[in-house]
Amino acid sequence: MEKEKLGELILDTQEGMYRMAKTLLRSDADCFDAIQEAILKAFSKIHTLRRDEFAKTWLMRILMNECYTILRRNQKLVSVEDYPQREGGFEEHRYTELYEALMELPREMRVCVTLYYLEGYSVKEVASLLEVTESAVKNRLSRARMRLRRILEGEQDFSGAGKTAGRSCSKDGTARAAGSARIKG
C-alpha cells in the first residue's frame, strides 16, 4: 500500500478510530494520543501490511495495541478523573444513555460491541482482530446485549433517587430491601 492510500484510509476512518479509542480509554486526551501514535506506527510499519484489503483491520489493531499500552501506563498513575468532580470541572460531557450503559460493560464486551455494531466488522473480522474464536465473539455480543438491556431497563424502572418502596437499587437491576437478601425488582 502506498502512503497516500494509507492517508486516505486514515481520513475515512478517523471517526471509527475515535470511537474505538473511546471504547477502551475514557479520557479524550488519551484517545487522541493513542490515535496519533497509531497513525505514526502505521506509516512507519506500512511495509508490514501484506494485503491492502486488510488495511483497515490492520490499522484498528495498531490502534487497539496503542490503547492497551496507554491503559498499562495509566494503571501506574492516579488520575484526577477517579475522584468526583464538582460542577464545572475539567471536562463536562453529556453522553447518551446508551453510551453510558456501554461504558458500564466489561472491556471485552465493550470492544466487541463497538467493532461489530458501530464499526460494522463481521463476527469473523472481530474474532481476528481480538485474536479469539468466533464463538467467543458471539458469546460476548450476546452477554453484552443482555447486560445493556438490563442496564437500560433498570435506569427506566429505578430512575430518580435510586430508591423505590424502601428498597435500594443496584447496577444489575436487582433491589435490596433494607438489611435483607436480593429481591428481583
Give tens-digit pLDDT for 7-57. Answer: 999 999 999 999 999 988 888 899 999 999 999 999 999 999 888 888 999
H/E element, 169: strand 167-169
Is the pLDDT at 86 greater than 50? The verdict is no
On whether both 46 and 108 belong to a single domain, the answer is no
pTM: 0.59
Asked if residue 87 is part of any domain, the answer here is no
Q: Could you tell me if 96 and 151 are in contact, meaning their C-beta atoms sit under 8 angstroms apart?
A: no
For the record, the C-alpha cell of 103 comes out as 461504558
Does residue 81 register a pLDDT over 70? no
Q: What is the CATH number for 163?
A: 1.10.10.10
Task: Give the model's pLDDT for residue 62.
Answer: 94
**How many C-beta atoms surround the C-beta of residue 108 within 10 A?**
15
Residues 17 and 60: beta-carbon distance below 8 Å: yes
Pairwise CA distance, residues 140 & 110, whole Å: 9
- The number of distinct structural domains making up the chain is 2
Rounded Cα distance, 182 and 163, in Å: 14
Q: What is the mean pLDDT of residues 82-107?
A: 64
- Residue 92 pLDDT greater than 50, yes or no: no
Q: Which long-range contacts (CB under 8 A, 24 or more apart) does 167-174 make?
A: 171/104
Q: Which of 18, 46, 77 is the last residue of a domain?
A: 77
Lowest mean pLDDT among 49-53, 91-95, 153-157, 162-166: 162-166
Give me the domain span that covers residue 141: 94-185
Q: Which residues contact 121 (CB under 8 A, 6 or more apart)?
A: 57, 115, 129
